[in-house]
Structure 1
């Protein structure tokens, strides 16, 4: 038996309401360029709108002019999607509360998640959206996931409940020590003062 190895999210497709409210939210609120439009090839009564969430991948929305926005929370039953998190820069993240408030969009405020800060709010159809900003940049040639697994190992070894900034900093130091050479034979911390 052999695995099927994924290499990232290709796209996520959501069921939307009408075309214009879809464009207004995904491009007009979240800034995702509207890049492609065609009928839903499995249901010609629906549109299929494509947006770029910022990394060149795709968020797609099925639209239908007879569907109207419903503001109830979407189901969170087993098998349902709880929420989607989108990455934003720290500079943008610090503006989210003000920009949501200006539109009258209710939100969670900033939530400190240890390794990232998050803000939650619902789209016009009641689907939970998270805007997340990492508190760290991975070392050159590494990914956020590599830092996270190293920070997890450090956290577990320390007996801590969740990943914090100290675990991230130590993880980054370990990754740099493994991936970048030095002429020094002793790379331990020093106090030159």
Structure 2
């Protein structure tokens, strides 16, 4: 068994990084922490780092959509507000899935990555 010290960034690729940045900033309040306009942007919220690589620039070592999904845990109030706001913005949001101890909704970000909100 290996012990984990801290979580490394989540990395995604985007054909339109500016749209992706706006999406995650507006939905979660993430802040743009680092920007290399030629290829990579890093968004941060608390201990979560999201690195967005520009597919048009050919950066990154993995192909698009290699991830199954990205999951974020939120409180109950944020969960309910996010579902309403996403629907208002025209996103296709799943029905609430009750997993017993937690509830989830699923939707896609501007690049087609499946995002799960858990509360």
TM-score scaled to structure 1, two decimals? 0.53
In the other structure, the counterpart of 1:109 is 95
Give the one of 107, 111, 116 matched to 1:125: 111
In the other structure, the counterpart of 1:50 is 42
Task: State whether residues 20 and 111 of structure 2, in contact with CA within 8 Å, keep that contact through their aligned partners in structure 1.
Answer: no
**Could you say what secondary structure the match of 1:9 adopts?**
coil
Shift of 1:81: 2.0
For 2:26 and 2:56, the matched residues in 1 are separated by: 19
Residue deviations 1:34-92, cap 9 Å, x none? 221125xxxxxx4211111x33231111025579xxxxxx75xxxx4211100111111
Higher relative contact order (CA 8 A, sep 6+): 2
In the other structure, the counterpart of 2:50 is 59
TM-score scaled to structure 2, two decimals? 0.81
In the other structure, the counterpart of 1:13 is 11
How many residues end up aligned between the 2 structures?
114
- From the superposition, tell whether residues 105 and 33 of structure 1 become closer, same or farther in structure 2 (CA, over 3 Å): same
For structure 1, the residue ranges without an aligned partner over 5 or more in a row are 40-45, 68-73, 134-193
Runs of 4 or more consecutive aligned structure 1 residues displaced over 3 Å after TM superposition? 64-67
**Could you say what secondary structure the match of 1:105 adopts?**
coil
The CA RMSD measured in Å over matched residues stands at 2.2
